Amino acid sequence: MADRVGIVAAAQTKYEAAKPWHHLSDLVLEVTDKVIAETGVSLVDDVESVVSNSQDHWDGRTISSIFIPDVTSFHLKDESKVAGDGAYAILYGAMHILSGDHRLVLVVSHCKESHTDGKMIENWSTDHIFHRMLGLDYTIGGAMQARRYMDKYAITREHCAKVVVKNKGNAKNNPFAQEWAKLTIDDVLKAEMLADPITALDAKPISDGACAILLATEELAKKLTRFPVWIKGVGNCYDAHFPGDRELADCDALIAASNAALEEEVDAYEAIMNGLAAGMEKVGQLYNEQEYFVPELLVCADALYAGLDILKPHVKGSDQHIKLKVVIGTVEGDIHDIGKNLVKVMFDAAGWTVYDLGKDVKLERFAEEQQRTNADIVAISTLLTTSMLAIPKVIEMVKRKNPNIAVIVGGAPLTRDIARSYGADGYAPNAGVAVQEAIDIINRREKNQKS
Ligand code: B12
């Protein structure tokens, strides 16, 4: 078994609406030549296996890889074709290396979409009894799903148009990209409507082109390039797209991933913290970088909760603190509750009784609920700099009713120093350490009372 797989070279053709003067093999030759030139390896002697990626439908014939053996030199060596997503081809190439069978694998992907009537091909790939006669193609399928998402998450066309403006703008950074444009939201909204709500600017263009990467074992990768890109891990979760068979706005992929984690006996706590929470952190980062917008956040939050529902019951609890009780909530004016809910899961898992007030909670409710439940601790969350000013008020209300009640706070704008200055007894930067912080406070109190 090889240790790691490295990408040692990558190449693309320019993508264009049509390349009438290029045969498919010309495109493949162009990118293969580039990766070979970059690394100086011999296509015939060094490359041990070729994984090509293309679709018979798009190439208008069966065995679409049959065009390219002379340019990729895969005669008399290991050759395979992946018909489907290019990511699978990379995954498959990486498996060739990880299995220990090969040291250097060429992965090449090619398509001349302009050759065919794309809409017809797409229509033919749908179910032939119910959907084909309706004239469904990928744009119409995408439109139905987009409508359902818009309805479920109150997403507007303006929200969606923002994604187009960003992506067409970003395309300028890729010299191989087919279309880049400096658009406004209005341009997108006024573009030709293909299938409501998908406009010509939302939809993908017809595109011809090819790309290639060269994968190598760790040892070889270090020799071939000073800067290999390491494949750290691979995995995939795809949703089926059979209309009528599924709720179009549900994100079943994370449900499947959570179930798979349990089946593989991954610790549920690890899956929540290193999977769901880490994923949401990444989502937050992408939002800050203006790569994601509000619609993506809402979809991801929903997906996270679906995963949480599956994993939560499996988090190993301890009955050590079974008698302890905590009141938790996000302060008034703030509707962020993902972080608060993760903290809640951790208290739940540790055997505490949790009274969850939810989000946007009226300030006096924290003290009232503590009195009603006689909870040991009040946990307050906030993500907004505007609403964080509510925290000292809540602490004051809780302590006025009972000075012995401990308060723990958390949320992105807070630090330990701010928490202290607000009069909080504890602070935790993440859910993983929140329960321990609460236990420490209680232990300290008990110790002080004894002495
Ligand atoms: C998801 C998100 C949303 C979602 C929230 C969905 C939901 N159900 O929660 C939606 C789209 C609804 C949303 C709306 C808004 N958002 Co928002 N949102 C985010 C985002 C991207 C991620 C937050 C998140 O869930 N992080 C993941 C979780 C796991 O991390 P966490 O919340 O920090 O929680 C961890 C710790 O902080 C800690 N913790 C949290 N609470 C507690 C409590 C205790 C007691 C303890 C011990 C620990 C603890 O443990 C948690 C788990 O490890 C952040 C940006 C970011 N990068 O953080 C912006 C962000 C928080 N949002 C922001 C803003 C401005 C808004 C809006 C006002 C936007 C608008 N103009 O409408 C509205 C808010 C309206 C309102 N009244 O509240 C700003 C806040 C800026 C600021 N400093 O005030 C941010 C920082 C984005 C930005 N850079 O501008 N948002």
Q: Hunting for tokens 């060094």 — which residue is that?
A: 46
Please give the number of the atom of ligand 1 that sits closest to the Cα of 379: 45
Residue 4 has pLDDT above 70, yes or no: yes
Å from CA of 413 to ligand 1 middle: 9
pLDDT in tens, 267-325: 998 898 888 888 888 888 888 888 888 888 888 888 888 898 899 888 876 555 457 89
Residue nearest to atom 77 of ligand 1 (CA): 334
Report how far apart, in Å, the C-alpha atoms of 382 and of each of 14, 146, 391, 394 are: 48, 32, 8, 12
Q: Which residues of 256-266 are buried (b: 16+ CB within 10 A; e: fewer)?
A: ebbeebeeeeb
What is the pLDDT of the chain when averaged over all its residues? Answer: 90
Å from CA of 57 to ligand 1 middle: 45
Å from CA of 388 to ligand 1 middle: 12
Helix (H, G, I), strand (E, B) or coil at 408: strand
pLDDT in tens, 383-439: 999 999 999 999 999 999 889 899 999 999 999 999 999 999 999 998 878 988 998
Helix (H, G, I), strand (E, B) or coil at 32: helix
Q: Which residues contact 113 (CB under 8 A, 6 or more apart)?
A: 58, 206, 207, 208
What's the distance, Cα to Cα, between the start and end of the chain in Å?
A: 60
Pocket of ligand 1 (CB under 6 A): 277, 280-281, 284-285, 287-288, 294, 297-298, 301, 333-340, 342-343, 379-381, 383-386, 408-413, 428, 430-431, 434
Instruction: Give me the residues paired with residue 106 across strands.
Output: 50, 214
Cβ(354)–Cβ(326) below 8 Å: yes
Q: How confident is the model at residue 199 (pLDDT cuts 50, 70, 90)?
A: very high
Which pLDDT belongs to residue 317? Answer: 65
Strands, DSSP E only, in 352-444? Answer: 353-356, 377-381, 406-410, 426-427
pLDDT in tens, 334-391: 999 988 988 888 888 777 899 999 999 999 999 999 999 999 999 999 999 999 999 9
CB atoms within 10 A of CB 45: 8
Cβ(208)–Cβ(114) below 8 Å: yes
Calpha distance 317→395 (Å, rounded): 29
CA 15-16-18 angle, to 5 degrees, is 135
Å from CA of 386 to ligand 1 middle: 12
Please give the number of the atom of ligand 1 that sits closest to the Cα of 336: 9
Which pLDDT belongs to residue 245? Answer: 76
Residue nearest to atom 69 of ligand 1 (CA): 294
pTM listed for this prediction: 0.74
- Burial (CB < 10 A; 0-12, 13-18, 19+), residue 78, is middle
Which pLDDT belongs to residue 347? Answer: 86
Q: Nearest-CA neighbor of 108 among 82, 134, 131?
A: 82
Q: Nearest-CA neighbor of 435 among 358, 354, 362, 365?
A: 354
Which pLDDT belongs to residue 197? Answer: 95
Q: What average pLDDT does range 8-17 have in this prediction?
A: 96
Which pLDDT belongs to residue 349? Answer: 74
Å from CA of 241 to ligand 1 middle: 31
Calpha distance 22→20 (Å, rounded): 6
Q: Nearest-CA neighbor of 136 among 79, 195, 88?
A: 195
Calpha distance 147→149 (Å, rounded): 5
Alpha-carbon dihedral of residues 90, 307, 252, 335, nearest 10 degrees?
-110
Strands, DSSP E only, in 152-289? Answer: 193-195, 198-199, 208-217, 229-231
Tell me which of 336, 389, 405 to substitute to probe ligand 1's pocket, judged by most ligand atoms within 8 Å of the beta carbon.
336
Specify whether the backbone of 276 is left (phi greater than 0), alpha (psi in -120 to 50) or beta: alpha
Å from CA of 122 to ligand 1 middle: 40
Å from CA of 343 to ligand 1 middle: 14
